[in-house]
Amino acid sequence: MAIAIIVIVVILALIVISSLKILKEYQRGVIFHFGRFHRVCGPGIVVVWPMIQQMSKVDLRVVVMEVPPQDVISRDNVSVKVNAVIYVRIIDPEKAVIQVADVFEASSQLAQTTLRSVLGQHELDDMLAARDKLNADIQTILDQHTDAWGMKVTNVEIKQVDLDENMVRAIAKQAEAERQRRAKVINAEGELQASQKLMEAAQTLMQQPQAIQLRYLQTLVEVAGDKSNTILFPLPMDLIEPLLTKLKKA
């Protein structure tokens, strides 16, 4: 009897010890009682009775998932390869275990299809220049679908957009043409502003004839400083007419 009691005590002790589970701070346990959902527990020490209860561990930390390169045809019919990375975390362990068999695999497949769908609605320029908006659109769509799985998409980042060599050369030509266009526009605007200033100066000089004479004399002084050339200037009548008038009076 004593041996039997000792054996029973040892067996009960082993059962109790095997029933004790330790969950870390970032872990939760989903316990099923005879196959039916019972509760979510953790962190700390949790008792799970063998043969009666089963527990599935769930990690609540943020998980980084890389989306493989996807072939995307943009709205302007440009074929590109795009890859991205998404940051997800489980916020409802019960849904993550019960509603879907593998929540991370399901999220990965959904991210791939969503990436192709969203980018296919935009032009190539948007993929290259408006990534923040595209990231937000993809994150919103993923959030709507993964909410039923107890998962939260915290961030989406498009990593790289790969183009073929022909498209790279075409974009380079387009950029060069755009720079030339801007240079011509700036030059034309400068010419326009200069012509406006010259017109204003001419109107001012027309109102003051003496100013025209002074400007003419200043130009002669500036040209006279260059002794390497001989320059002939006609003498305008406007300059000597006041002198002739005084001589006539005298």
User: Domain for residue 195, yes or no?
Assistant: yes
CATH number of the domain enclosing 147: 3.30.479.30
User: Domain for residue 3, yes or no?
Assistant: no
Provide the pLDDT for residue 72: 87
User: Domain for residue 136, yes or no?
Assistant: yes
User: Domain for residue 102, yes or no?
Assistant: yes
- Please name which of 103, 101, 99, 94 lies closest in space to residue 31, comparing C-alpha atoms: 94
Instruction: Give the Cα separation of 1 and 240 in Å (integer).
Output: 146
The Cα-based distances of 96 to 29, 38, 100 in angstroms read: 11, 15, 6
User: Domain for residue 43, yes or no?
Assistant: yes
- Please name which of 160, 79, 151, 153 lies closest in space to residue 114, comparing C-alpha atoms: 153
Q: Is the pLDDT of residue 146 over 80?
A: yes
- The model scores a pTM over 0.75: no
Tokens coding 117 = 């769908």
- 88 and 155 housed in the same domain: yes
User: Domain for residue 4, yes or no?
Assistant: no
- 52 and 68 housed in the same domain: no
Provide the pLDDT for residue 155: 92
- 140 and 119 housed in the same domain: yes
Number of CB atoms found within 10 A of residue 134's CB: 20
Provide the pLDDT for residue 62: 93
Q: Which domain holds residue 51?
A: 10-59
Q: Which of 20, 38, 59 is the last residue of a domain?
A: 59
**How many structural domains comprise the chain?**
3
Tokens coding 152 = 């939260």
